[in-house]
Structure 1
Amino acid sequence: MLNTDPSQYPDENPLADKGGGSSPTPAEVQQYADGLVDPTQIAYDNSYAYRGLDESQATNKDNPYPTHLGTSPRYHAK
């Protein structure tokens, strides 16, 4: 164990890829974290804020969550 080179192993989380089309996928989790998921698909999450570019979410009566248009970390990443 002490003589094993960790760089020979892939740098990935084997639990993130469940295979077989199960959900949530890593991409879906990242969309949720970035605030890009449609707020009508979110239930019982008081910390969620929509941060995408869809301006209709600002006046959508079915959107109970705060809307901060264009503030997603995805848009500001370098």
Structure 2
Amino acid sequence: MTMGVDPRQLADDDLFRELRSLHDTRTDTLLHGSDDALQHHTSRTEELEGEYLKRFPERHIDAGRLRSGARSR
């Protein structure tokens, strides 16, 4: 169901911009979008996030975002 540029073809900056845009519009799509719009939004987010994880498998993981870090707060 890919619509838009294949995530593999995006430069890193473009990938980040697309991810930010999708995350910015998620709540609006959930609350006010049609079922089709929500499904497309979810699919596109999964595509872009998957590409991000492929490119940056060693990304920084904030210890506070882990279960053990949350428990210590």
Q: TM-score, normalised by structure 2?
A: 0.27
More relative contact order, 1 or 2 (CA 8 Å, 6+ apart): 2
Indicate the structure (1 or 2) with the bigger Cα radius of gyration. 1
Q: TM-score, normalised by structure 1?
A: 0.25
